[in-house]
Chain A
Amino acid sequence: MLYALMGLGLALITGILNIPNFAHGALFAVGAYFLVSVVSALGNFWLGLLLAPIGIALLGLLIEYLGVRRLYAAGHDYQLLFTFGLALILNELIIVIWGPVGISHLPPAILRGGVDLGFTFYPKYRLFVMLMAGLLVVATWLFLEKTRYGAIMRAGIENKEMVSLLGIDIHWLFTAAFALGAYLAGIAGALTAPIRGLSPGMGVDMLGIAVVVVALGGLGNLLGAIAAGLLIGVAQAVVAAYWTEASTVVIFAVMAAVLVVRPQGLFGIR
């Protein structure tokens, strides 16, 4: 479910801006660290979960407005390099602000411990994350499919020029898309913090998986990203039950297998 969330955020940004957002993993990581800081300051996990991703969305807004937008004239390569450099900067900033040593952050007391599901024992917090991530994915999908703003975003992915000709300010569109993508990355990070703990390099692994999800789902297809994210997550869980050591490799193996047969991804349009 988390993979679907990350993939969706990245697909949104990639689709609209036409460049892979290398800073997506870093936004995920900063989201997790923001959560820890907000919870330390306010003492409430739920407030942290609410506020931290908004902080990341604002960060995304700033990044787009101050950085990416200025580089449109320079071309895709420079925007790509910019996000790559940003990823490195954010990584080091995490070390500067929060230190290089890993941190553990426990889930809130009511979500601790496990639930006996009969066939297996499962942590309460993970069930919560599945639910939250699922709700977010559904909410984002509804926004994109059923609202006017969502329609504009999807149109922007398909054909920027046409949207602009129709009188819509595509610069605002880009900023909004980036902020939304960043929000999704931020909340994914905040949700993950109690499960995986925090360390400065946590964004790098997630970025890899997010890219796999986007490539598998097909560049430019948001629903495809969701489907791909779910597929990867399920594949990993199934393989883990029988051949635990291969559970991480299977993510990349599935992507490779599908792309060999269908280079445009499962639902890709380009």
Chain B
Amino acid sequence: MSQSKRRELLKAGAAIGAASLGFPAIVRAQAKEIVILGLWDQTGAYADVGPLNDRGMRMALEERGMKILGKPIKYITRDGATQAGVSTRRAEEAIDEGARFMIGPWSSGVALAVSEVAKRRKVLHLFSGGTEDISGSRCHRYSFQWAASPYTAAKTVVDNFMKANPKAKRWQLLIADYAFGWSLEKYIKEVGKDHGLEFVGADRHPLGEREFSNYVQKAAANRPDAVAMVNFGADAVGAAREFFNFGLTPKVPLIMAWSSGVEELIQLSPEIRENLWVGTNFYYTADTPVAKAFVRSYQAKYQLPPGYAPSSAYSMTRMLLAGFDKAKSDDTQAVIKALETLEVNDLLGRMRVDPATHQTLRPYFFLKCKAKGAMKHELDLADIVATGDTPLPKQYAACKDIGGF
């Protein structure tokens, strides 16, 4: 080969190589697979939850043999580290690699940031957090909220607690000091009005508080008929323990208004759980065929029954797959339209989506924990007392126009 011809060949080869390196989207878009992202934290504040979420999502996808509409599903996970900056970057990278559907992350605050990415990159987004904003003031066509509205939670908890304890009119509140805590506090007070409740005190504590004795002392001094908490994880466990240590419970009932269920309750001992009433987005004794099958397979694999984390991931993935089925297409906008009119009898019971706000309308569970003597086995923590699915009344809805695509 002559000198110049070789050079030409090398230049051409380098150009092609550079082109395929520089335009991976084009190269990968050739594949017929559907790429779904699970944004699950493996590091950071919620590092213990990420693997549980992954389990649930994976189980839902494997039920369909990792295929939908005849196309293979490529399930990728990325670690958001419970930080908005990291999560949004990982989401963007995954979208560059072809992901058009994403589920997660766990933290409401971070989910808000990720939701903005979904809107900008026109990617379908489901998440399990409780923040009102994504189906409220920051609503848009691409994000869907799986968890019950805090209003639904408040109504289910307050109405059913008062049915069982009609004389408990003086309530003390303990609220985690962040946006979600404030919204649930607001709704509890609203619903409480209908029952003639008197709120003798409402204390806010910072997230990650360790020393609850002061809050408990203040609560005790107010002599309430019931104490209601809006907090999560280690905060909820620590506060519940402190209420017990001070001798407030089990005499005075304690309500955990928004709990992850199993995952928090097993950290307490049966004595602490006595007279503990819990509101949660899912409990494993839910009486639906899908829940029974899911709990059976989950326990077979992981021994413990599933709590909020894996169940929410499982349920959201099933919703997404149902959306594909209904739309008969994997075009993002078609699936969104299908989800907006979705009505299924799934993990939680009857579930449908409000097209105006993208809030899932579904049952919220209210449990009463069992005393030590009534527990039939180590994980027989509570009974489901009631479910409620009253949606957020229109006058509170902050989502005025969900917008177009």
Interface residues of A (CB under 8 A from B): 100-107, 112-114, 120-123, 125-126, 194-197, 199, 205, 236-237, 240-241, 244-245, 247-248
Contacts and interface: CB of A to CB of B under 8 A. Distances in A.
A187 B203 CA distance: 33
B49 to A, nearest CB: 11
B245 A126 contact: yes
Nearest to B47: A100
A100 B42 CA distance: 14
A241 B213 CA distance: 10
Interface in B12-58: 48
Contacts of B48: 100-101
Q: On chain B, which size bracket covers the interface?
A: 20 to 34
A114 B272 CA distance: 14
Nearest to A105: B269
B241 interface: yes
Contacts of A105: 269
Contacts of B221: 120-121
Nearest to A95: B48
B269 A106 contact: yes
Contact of A199 (B214, B234, B247, B248): B234
B247 A114 contact: yes
A26 to B, nearest CB: 17
Interface stretch (B114-122, B204-212, B338-346): B204-212
B391 interface: no
Contact of A244 (B203, B246, B267): B203
Contacts of A102: 234, 237, 267
A123 B249 CA distance: 12
B263 to A, nearest CB: 8
B238 A196 contact: yes
Question: Is the contact region of chain A dominated by helix, strand, or loop, or is it mixed?
Answer: mixed
B267 A245 contact: no
Given A122-B246, A123-B247, A197-B237, A244 B205 contact: yes
29 contacts: A101-B263, A101-B266, A102-B237, A102-B267, A103-B267, A104-B237, A104-B268, A106-B271, A107-B245, A112-B247, A114-B247, A121-B220, A121-B246, A123-B246, A126-B213, A195-B245, A196-B241, A197-B237, A197-B238, A197-B267, A199-B234, A237-B214, A240-B211, A241-B214, A244-B214, A244-B218, A245-B177, A245-B206, A248-B206
A120 B210 contact: no
Nearest to B215: A244
Contacts of B205: 244-245
Contacts of A122: 217, 246
A126 B241 CA distance: 13
